[in-house]
Amino acid sequence: MDLQLDDQVAVITGGSAGIGRATAEGLAREGVHVALCARDEEATKDAARGLRADHGVEALGAAVDVTDPDDVARFSERVLNTFDGVDILINNAGVGTNETILGASDEKWQYHWDLHVMAAVRMARQFVPSMQARDGGVVLHNASICARQPLDHEPIYNVTKAALSMLSKCLANEVADDDIRVNCVNPGLVQTEPWEEAAREETRGEERDWTDFLSEIAEENTPIGRFASPDELADFLVFLCSPRASYCLGSTYYVDGGWLNVVN
C-alpha cells in the first residue's frame, strides 16, 4: 500500500530509542524527512545519521529537554529553519513512574505533568501553525493503556497519560477545520529498554532469565500472551500519519494485545 507520505516532514519527541526510533524508521522508509529530539544528544544524532544512511532522507537529531519551554522553542526554530515546515508531529516522549499519591512530592508531579502534557501543548503551539500554513497535517500523542486502566504503582503516570488523551481530543476539535488530524494511541506492553532494564533488575540473582519475567508479565495481563515490539506499534503510528487514515480524527486507539478489560 502506498501511504502517500513521500517528502513530508515529521517531528518526533523521544526519538532516539524505542517506540520513537522505530516510528522514525517506519516513516523514513516511506520517504519522510525526520527531526528527532531526546535528552541523549549522541543517541539522537546517531539515530539521525542512521536514517540518512539507510533511507536517503533528511534527518535532524537534537538534544532537547521537552520539559523546558526554552529548549522546545529553540528546537522548533531549528527545525523550521531546516525544513521550512512540518507535516507530522508525534509527541512520544515519556517515562513511567513509581510512587504513591500521598507520598509523591509536588516536584515529581510537576515534572511528569510537564513531560507528558505540557510538552505536547508546547510542541503543538510551535508546529501546528506550520501545518495550518501547509493546509493540513497530523498530530499523534503516544499515551498509554494506563490512561484508562491504571496500574497501582504509578498514579502520576496514569493521571498524566489520561490528561494527554483528553488533550488530544480537545486539540482535534480545535484544528479539524484546518484539515489537521489529531489522534491518540494507548499502547499496552511494548518491549522497550526500560522494560528490559526492569526485568534484569527484578531477576538479579535468580535462576530465571529476565526474558522469563517479561513472559510472565505478558501472560498474566494480555490474551495475546506477549509483548509487542516497538516496530509493531510503529507500523500503526505510521499508518495514522498517512492520508490513507484520512477519516481517523479525534480518537484514541488501543494497541494492547487485548489487555484492556472493558469495551471501548
C-alpha cell at 101: 499519591
Rounded to whole angstroms, the Cα distance separating 59 from 141 reads 21
Report the chain's C-alpha Rg in angstroms. 18
Q: Are strands 33-38 and 137-142 parallel, antiparallel or unpaired?
A: unpaired
Rounded to whole angstroms, the Cα distance separating 128 from 245 reads 19
| Residue 157 appears among annotated catalytic residues | yes
262 contacts: CB under 8 Å, gap ≥ 6:
148, 149
Distance of CA 73 to the CA centre of its chain: 19
Q: Are strands 59-63 and 137-142 parallel, antiparallel or unpaired?
A: unpaired
- Least Cα distance to 48 among 30, 61, 31 occurs for 61
Rounded to whole angstroms, the Cα distance separating 6 from 155 reads 40
Please identify which of the residues 111, 157, 253, 254 carries the catalytic annotation. Answer: 157
124 near 139, Cβ under 8 Å? yes
Exposure of 260 by Cβ count < 10 A (0-12 exposed, 13-18 middle, 19+ buried)?
Answer: middle
Active-site residue numbers?
A: 157
